[in-house]
Amino acid sequence: MHHTSSPFVPRGAAALLLALLPALAWSQATPTPNRIDGFGTPNTTAPSPPNPSNHGETELNILTSYYSQDGNRGAVEGGIGTQQLTDLTPTIILNVPLDSATRLSANLGLDYYSSASTDRIDQVNSSPSSSDTRIHLDLGLARQLADKRTIVGVGAGFSAEYDYLSFNVSGSWARASADGNRELSVAGQVFLDQVTVIRPVELRNTPDPTGGTTRQSYNLNIVYSQVLSQRLQVAVSTELVAQRGLLSTPFHRVYFRETGGAYGTAKTELLPRQRLKYPVGLRLNYYATDLVQLRGYYRFYNDNFGITAHTFELETPVKVTPFFVLYPFYRYHTQTAADYFAPYLAHSVTDEYYTSDYDLADFSANKFGLGLRYSPVYGIGRFKTPFKGRVAKFKALDIRYAYYRQSTGLTANLISADLSFTLP
């Protein structure tokens, strides 16, 4: 869902995906600690990464979602344009035990989106910039060491869309205490990105102030988890990020109060070329009763763009039966504006940096929704696969709907599903 890029489907990438599918489907999987959104290393925010030797089964997850948003603060038109956008995202995750201590994971997915906002880059409706497809593939390898308490992992992947190409490498280390009540995990990732600069059509003959077309991101993720009692456990995490390079979106317009909003008077958004982020999260889970559990999360965020944010989430799974769970959830987010943000016509031409992207504005947001999970002990069903007649198990189904609303007027709906299968 690269909401800021443009044009068409990369057919070569789609063909590659189709060619890879059978091979990936052939391989095997276990539970999926890898970060689904594009990092091959185990998810270090999950304490107790699954023991690679625990699962002789292949696990395959098919995930998909449909996202729709609307609003009238689009940055492509300087903070007053449409934000209408839809996004469809099929994803396949595989986890393959290679031996008793090693696990290979693969994460392959597509983002197909259509955007009325990016359609305004060239001021012609239904132009090629109205839709795009992103493809991403990430591979990870995790190995449990001889002490049975330490897991190390490496990963690599790429993401490609019309105007954005990204490669990443990652490494992780996690170690549990002897009694399994504490765990520390550390993961690092490096992203090397290449941007194809596409500017608003009327500005393409003016000097480009952004300079450079690359972006490097360095992430360090540290998680410490602790069992507090038989019913309560906590995790504290931080994810330090340093970015440098092109952090502006070249087709975002900014209109200035001195020059007005006439056609051709805008400039391309300009942001500093370095950004440091410091989020800290606290997660607390409480097994209140056999019927209800409480899952709480709080995050404090700060960065050198001047944004300070608080995020709070609460989810209350209700076990209707031991295998059927309903889980309502609520999330509240509030943030201050970046130092470089101002609305339409509010910037001065003397400003060093400027953006009218409401993602960087001062706002609050509420999200709520409902999920359901059905996971009977012996699975939902079984079927024979084309692979040597092996019988696969449809293990579990998870469906979730969320409604999101910002104080900027942006609203969004998202429905997603996760189908879990295993192969012997």
Partner 1 sequence: MTLPNFARLALGGLLLAGGSGLSSCVSVAAYQKVYLNDEDMKLSNKRIEVYETNFQSYREGAGGANGGKVGGGCGCN
**From the CB of 249, what's the least distance to partner 1, in Å?**
6
Q: Among 199, 267, 275, 395, which residue interacts with partner 1 (rule: CB under 8 A)?
A: 275
Q: Among 27, 84, 114, 226, which residue interacts with partner 1 (rule: CB under 8 A)?
A: 226
For residue 293, state whether it binds partner 1 (rule: CB under 8 A).
yes
Query: What's the CA gap between 385 and 364, in Å, rounded?
Result: 48
Q: Among 281, 342, 422, 423, which residue interacts with partner 1 (rule: CB under 8 A)?
A: 281
**From the CB of 302, what's the least distance to partner 1, in Å?**
8
Instruction: Using the structure block, give the residue that is written with the tokens 């344009």.
Output: 81
Q: Work out the number of other CB atoms within 10 angstroms of the CB of residue 19.
A: 9
Instruction: Kindly tell me which of 122 and 357 has the beta carbon lying closer to partner 1.
Output: 357
Instruction: Kindly tell me which of 255 and 358 has the beta carbon lying closer to partner 1.
Output: 358
**From the CB of 179, what's the least distance to partner 1, in Å?**
6
Instruction: Using the structure block, give the residue that is written with the tokens 């030797």.
Output: 53
User: Please, which of residues 148-167 interact with partner 1 by CB under 8 A?
Assistant: 159, 164, 166
Residue 22 CA neighbour count, 13 Å, CB half:
4
Helix (H, G, I), strand (E, B) or coil at 365: strand
Query: What would the DSSP string read from start to end of 61-102?
Result: EEEEEEEEEE-S-BGGGTSSB---EEEE--EEEEEEE-SSSE
The tokens for 422 are: 């295993």
**Interface stretch with partner 1, choices 142-150, 261-269, 297-305, 377-385 (CB under 8 A):** 297-305
* Strand spans (E) along 246-293: 253-254, 267-268, 274-277, 280-286
Helix (H, G, I), strand (E, B) or coil at 141: strand
User: Please, which of residues 358-387 interact with partner 1 by CB under 8 A?
Assistant: 359-362, 364-365, 367, 371, 373, 375
Query: What's the CA gap between 357 and 383, in Å, rounded?
Result: 49
Instruction: Using the structure block, give the residue that is written with the tokens 């044009």.
Output: 7
b/e code 146-170 from CB counts within 10 Å (16+ = b): eeeeebbbebbbbbbbbbbebebbb
**From the CB of 99, what's the least distance to partner 1, in Å?**
25
Q: Among 103, 120, 199, 215, which residue interacts with partner 1 (rule: CB under 8 A)?
A: 215
For residue 238, the one-letter residue type is: T
User: Please, which of residues 318-337 interact with partner 1 by CB under 8 A?
Assistant: 325, 327, 332-336
Instruction: Kindly tell me which of 21 and 190 has the beta carbon lying closer to partner 1.
Output: 190
**From the CB of 391, what's the least distance to partner 1, in Å?**
24
Instruction: Kindly tell me which of 133 and 416 has the beta carbon lying closer to partner 1.
Output: 416
User: Please, which of residues 64-93 interact with partner 1 by CB under 8 A?
Assistant: 65, 67, 69, 87, 89, 93
Instruction: Kindly tell me which of 32 and 130 has the beta carbon lying closer to partner 1.
Output: 32
For residue 133, state whether it binds partner 1 (rule: CB under 8 A).
no
Beta bridge partners of 334: 310, 364
Instruction: Kindly tell me which of 173 and 287 has the beta carbon lying closer to partner 1.
Output: 287
Instruction: Using the structure block, give the residue that is written with the tokens 């986890």.
Output: 95
Query: What's the CA gap between 87 and 97, in Å, rounded?
Result: 33
Residue 224 CA neighbour count, 13 Å, CB half:
4
Instruction: Kindly tell me which of 289 and 387 has the beta carbon lying closer to partner 1.
Output: 289
For residue 282, the one-letter residue type is: L
For residue 235, state whether it binds partner 1 (rule: CB under 8 A).
yes
Q: Per-residue string for binding with partner 1, 165-194, x by CB under 8 A?
A: -x-x----------xxx-------xxx-x-
**From the CB of 110, what's the least distance to partner 1, in Å?**
13
Instruction: Kindly tell me which of 57 and 398 has the beta carbon lying closer to partner 1.
Output: 398
**Interface stretch with partner 1, choices 20-28, 291-299, 342-350, 381-389 (CB under 8 A):** 291-299
**Angle CA 221–159–404, to nearest 5:** 70
**From the CB of 413, what's the least distance to partner 1, in Å?**
11
For residue 284, state whether it binds partner 1 (rule: CB under 8 A).
yes
User: Please, which of residues 88-127 interact with partner 1 by CB under 8 A?
Assistant: 89, 93
Please state the three-class secondary structure of 106-147 as a single string: EEEEEEEEEECCHHHCCCCCCCHHHEEEEEEEEEEEEEECCC
For residue 365, the one-letter residue type is: A
